[in-house]
Structure 1
Amino acid sequence: MKDGYYLSAYIDINTQAHILDLEIRHDQNVSLWKKEGDHVQLIHYWELERLTGYKQHSTSFLDIDQARRVINSLLDTYQLSLNDMNEVWGSPGLDTVDDYHSVEDFPEYAYHSVAHLFSAIYSETRLLQNDNIIGLAVDHGPDHVNDPNVYRDNKYCYIGCIVKNGQIEFYPLYSPALLWAYCRLRYNLREGTLMALASASTSELLDVEEETFLFQTTGVLNNSYQVISDYIDGLEKNIDQATEQDIGIVFNGFDKAFDYQDNKISMVMKEIQKMSIRIMDLNVKNLLERSGIEGKDTYLSITGGFALNCPTNTYLMQKYNFKGFISTPCVSDTGMSMGIALYAFYKKIHTFHFSLGNSYYGNQHNGLLTVIESEPYQKHILSISEFNPEEAVRDLINGPFIWFYGRSEIGPRALGNRSIIADPRYNDAKTLLNQVKDRQWWRPVAPIILEEHLKEWFDGSEKSPYMLHTYHIREDKKNQVPAILHLDNSARIQTIKKDEKDLLYGLIEKFNEETGVPIVCNTSLNDKGEPIIDRIEEAINFALRKNFKIIYVNGMRVELHRHGEYEENRPLPRPLRTFHSVGRMKEIYTKLYNPFNVSKRALIFYYMLPDLMNRYDIMRKEDVQELENYADDCINKLRIAAFFDKIAGK
């Protein structure tokens, strides 16, 4: 394997999906790598949502030419192009080789899940080569772009592994992510919102008979969604029939801070969370028994979208006393190009050295002076000065401010470089941040804490640089930081060390000197429905629209004024806002690729379930009505019509 540059692209190139605006891969991402001898380095990580403005970017490229143009524009940052890559992996049509994946190596396992596993277990090769690891890749289900027969061949969709002495063995797993994916469709709320709502209210069902659904494949076709739907129907029936006389018997009463529907969803999701923990507990128990190793001698690794379920991660770490937790900031499909690349290096050279180290591999945006001297921002700049920790603490005490620094973090969570920072000592801070972001009032705000103070504040806690763990605050500390706490006095924490983020560390250190609190509130820098902000002008636009007076940009303090004169009332367009490229030809192309007018609702359902492509062909008239009937029947029977109607109406 030659030294030089390699490109990994988790994208989709599909003219039909582009024209009809259908999802094949979501959270598409591209990463640039460099190999020198047996050392591998991640150079840059691009998440397309940051560039297009499409949250969880799922739009396919129109054709290979568009894909090449876009990727070459990204590589131009380094004065490189696709022609300079030794190999390109991840997306048929763009690939330059076809020997990088696991489809033939491990034909019984979905390649998508293999890539998830490798994104974490190979993120620190020093640990993989010298320690025991059990890894779990658990998400809703794999895409089929590189693995077209994944559903037809009934492959294992969820994979665990045991690593001993650098040797890896795979085993099938059960995934709780299907529970959450179904609930997202049923309640038309994203998984993170459902998780937050579960812990937000006090309402809870009592004495629910324990059930544990063990799914090794995904989707409607194996009736998994129907099983979940029937289970939730039963829970909701108990809630709907409950009266005050049932308090203490069927449930503990409704939380008066929430309306009826939110109480119902919260009670259901508490049961879903309990079942999720039982499923993951069984997975871990089985892997440990097979390996013959103990938790205290082993690292735990979890990837896939379910790895964002912080309470489950913490439960497993504490129950089995694992040696440590190995993961990445991009545990969801945002990390797929990383996993694709690390598996390719493993397959081709097997032993190599790589350390991810941190989460800051995204775009760097400089040129603050150029931005603030341009229209329309010039008249809104009151002052500009260098960062001073004492002044920054005064700013923080006076109200939230925007923090934009260095390269953007990768993955779905803001980890201190594209953040809104606030004082955690007053609950008003959480209220204000939720109002600014147009979120539900009960949504939690995460803390950033200096790592050396972690155990003073949170029970049973361990470092959590990527915000993947939830810990309960110590009883004597909870009244000091109400803004960061969930109803159960837990918080989803991020820890930082001095050598990782000097300026932010310096701010929190000085805040601790002044207040005795080594913690700040942190929420992502973005508006409702918008990806995390990537550029300076996007951050200033946000600040002016949302009435922030102070914004810190790459170590400079910018004071804003005359907010009422700012004319823009929405987020700025992103650099690749013209990603949809057919324009006036859309009507013609739509007739070409959907000649029999399959409804948008049925098309979305069709592309969500790749097995349907083996059953129906939307280019054949005789299949279309049957598909429409089947889709309508499933959608209505599963009680997920609201979700499909909303998406189809966009």
Structure 2
Amino acid sequence: MLSHGYSFKDIDRLVIDGWDFYTINAHLPFDQHEQLSFEIKINKEKSLTINKLAAYGHLVKETENILKQETFEVSELGLAYKSYKHVSSHVFAAYCTSPFAKSGEDSYILVWDGGMPPQLFYYRYEENKVENLGWLFPFMGYMYITFSHEFEPFNKLNDHLSVAGKVMAYVALGKLDAMIMGKFREIYKELIEGVDSFTMSIDQVMKITNEFTRRSKEFCDSEKLLHANMLATFQVFLQELLIENLTRKVKEKPTLVKNLCFSGGSSLNIKWNSGIRNRGIFNSMWVPPFPNDAGSAIGTACCEMIVSDNIRSLEWSVYSGPPVMDINHTESEYLFNDCTLEELAKILFEYNEPVAFINGSAEMGPRSLGNRSLLSPAVSPDMKKLLNEMKGREDYRPVAPICLEEYAMEVFNPGVPDPYMLYEHMVRIDWKDKVPAICHLDGTARLQTVNSNQNPTIYELLTHYKKLSGIPLLCNTSANFNGKGFFPDINSVMKWGKANYIWNDGRIYFKKNSPYSKNVSKMNGGYVKNTVSQ
């Protein structure tokens, strides 16, 4: 706030995302979880302790109003703050950023976050009213992680948050097994027999979730099944549960508009997103680029915007994160030269090495979309291995393509516009050998398309590269320390030290021992600029 010229006194409304204060302790009922609190720094001397918020919204009842705000007083500061349910932040981060809100249309909104089963809502635009259509099936969102923790190689990992993305990639090593699928359905049918959707509690959902995992592991051990096949089949099993239950719910409401917003951490699963979109249940589908808790602050503000200001559509850009910090470069290992985007395309084409591309304001959400990216040519099959080594990632992890929108259908199927990297596309057969670095083990790619309006800078770079190579795409993976956020400045990339080249604002930084450095030195009579002297 201070860096943007604001103080705490300038805030006219303080709105905080809802949460149940508990430590994750799945064997205890929710009302027995430990109470937690956190502090908001008001100034150098004072902090505001927050220990009262709206609920999480683990299992919203039919009659609950998820737009109900709760107000709490902080008497010692003469301050009040509002709070909305956590589930509400997901609902409206999705809806208010959607094309449906912009055109004044109604929409279904599906939320499946870690601490809840998949819950379906319907927003009526004209009435400004949310209908709670209930849960789809009694599995907690965290199940994708806890189930995977029972099987190799994830049973050896303590890390919780990074597992889901790894599993989504790893399932390509396994096969869909009809026997395993049959057993999953058998266990599920037994567990939900006699379940009353009206009296179901979140503790019952947790018990069913945990019991399904226990029985599945027991079955795997008794049959000595391949763990990769268990995980691959589980991926498809959950996808089919989503599709079957969404289909059932939509058929129950034949007059409602068939738009869908999907939010919550589970909507980062590109296979599920594509499965739902491809099945034709809905006419249009929207997943925001910040569907997990990265979008909770935006969603909470949207709740307040709807309730207090009667505004339903948010003006936004995915490139609204922090700008590149202006910090003096201290790493003497790097030199620099002026470098246009056309010249950068030539460097990528000629040297076939990754470039840390740090441009403008960072992306909102967990995925790099061209402003905090490691970019590289995709023409070498070894490039994926190199990028994974640079990032400290497993060798089975895929690398995404960033592609000129107008050429996407030529390379990918379906290849429709996908600016936020949220769906799965098949790489067309005649392109697999041309761009092997972006082909996943199962022949798919997590495509990002880009046009001149969405990101003019990256679009220009891709256009220049296409003229040189005939290839309308580059590899794109996030520029960050492993497990951390995007690099905030050029100096951070230099300290990381894995990239020979860094581009920012018309300038390329390059290591002294890089091939480009040797060529530039020859052309300039041995003269190149040093970062330290600037």
Bin of the TM-score, shorter chain as denominator length: 0.7 to 0.9
Map of 1:314-329 to 2, 5 A cutoff?
A: 314-320=274-280, 322-329=282-289
Where relative contact order (Cα < 8 A, 6+ residues apart) is larger, the structure is: 1
Map of 1:437-586 to 2, 5 A cutoff?
A: 437-542=391-496, 544=497, 546=498, 548-561=499-512
Q: In 2, are the aligned partners of 1:308 and 1:331 still within 8 Å (CA)?
A: yes
Is 2:312 aligned against 1:361?
A: no
Q: Which moved more, 1:120-129 or 1:443-452?
A: 120-129
For residue 339 of structure 2, what is the aligned residue in structure 1? 386
For residue 127 of structure 1, what is the aligned residue in structure 2? 101
Q: 1:448 to 1:218 in 2, by over 3 A?
A: farther
Is 2:143 aligned against 1:179?
A: yes
Q: Structure 2: which amino acid aligns with 1:380? A: E
Map of 1:204-603 to 2, 5 A cutoff?
A: 204-208=176-180, 209=182, 210-211=184-185, 212=188, 218=202, 222-237=206-221, 240=224, 264-293=226-255, 298-320=258-280, 322-356=282-316, 358-367=317-326, 371-372=328-329, 375=330, 377=331, 379-398=332-351, 399-542=353-496, 544=497, 546=498, 548-561=499-512
Q: In 2, are the aligned partners of 1:465 and 1:494 still within 8 Å (CA)?
A: yes
Q: CA deviation at 1:12?
A: 8.3
Q: Structure 2: which amino acid aligns with 1:346? A: I
After superposition, what is the alpha-carbon deviation per residue over 1:576-608, rounded to whole angstroms, capped at 9, x for unaligned?
A: xxxxxxxxxxxxxxxxxxxxxxxxxxxxxxxxx
- Please, what TM-score do these two structures have when normalized by structure 2? 0.74
Q: Percent identity?
A: 21
Measure the CA separation in 1 of the matches of 2:99 and 2:500: 44
Alignment gaps of 5+ in structure 1: 25-59, 73-87, 102-110, 143-156, 243-263, 564-650
Q: 1:4 to 1:68 in 2, by over 3 A?
A: closer
Q: In 2, are the aligned partners of 1:194 and 1:266 still within 8 Å (CA)?
A: no
Q: CA deviation at 1:319?
A: 0.9
Q: CA deviation at 1:182?
A: 1.6
Measure the CA separation in 2 of the matches of 1:165 and 1:220: 34
Q: In 2, are the aligned partners of 1:467 and 1:493 still within 8 Å (CA)?
A: yes
Measure the CA separation in 2 of the matches of 1:5 and 1:323: 40
Measure the CA separation in 1 of the matches of 2:438 and 2:510: 26
Measure the CA separation in 2 of the matches of 1:71 and 1:428: 53
Q: In 2, are the aligned partners of 1:300 and 1:317 still within 8 Å (CA)?
A: no
Map of 1:151-190 to 2, 5 A cutoff?
A: 158-167=118-127, 168-174=130-136, 177-186=141-150, 187=155, 188=157, 190=163
Alignment gaps of 5+ in structure 2: 1-9, 26-35, 48-68, 515-534
Q: 1:10 to 1:127 in 2, by over 3 A?
A: closer
Q: Structure 2: which amino acid aligns with 1:423? A: P
Q: 1:204 to 1:559 in 2, by over 3 A?
A: same
Q: CA deviation at 1:396?
A: 4.7
Q: Structure 2: which amino acid aligns with 1:557? A: I
For residue 118 of structure 1, what is the aligned residue in structure 2? 92
Q: Secondary structure at the match of 2:382?
A: helix
Q: 1:239 to 1:477 in 2, by over 3 A?
A: farther
Q: 1:238 to 1:328 in 2, by over 3 A?
A: same
Count the aligned residue pairs.
446
Q: CA deviation at 1:394?
A: 2.6
RMSD, aligned CA: 3.4
Q: Which moved more, 1:454-463 or 1:321-330?
A: 321-330
Measure the CA separation in 1 of the matches of 2:408 and 2:503: 26
Q: In 2, are the aligned partners of 1:132 and 1:165 still within 8 Å (CA)?
A: yes
Q: Structure 2: which amino acid aligns with 1:468? A: L
Q: Which moved more, 1:124-133 or 1:508-517?
A: 124-133
Q: CA deviation at 1:443?
A: 0.7
Measure the CA separation in 2 of the matches of 1:70 and 1:534: 27
- Please, what TM-score do these two structures have when normalized by structure 1? 0.62
Q: CA deviation at 1:389?
A: 1.6
Q: Structure 2: which amino acid aligns with 1:135? A: I
Measure the CA separation in 2 of the matches of 1:68 and 1:7: 15
Q: Secondary structure at the match of 2:236?
A: helix
Q: Secondary structure at the match of 2:441?
A: coil
For residue 631 of structure 1, what is the aligned residue in structure 2? none
Q: CA deviation at 1:23?
A: 7.3
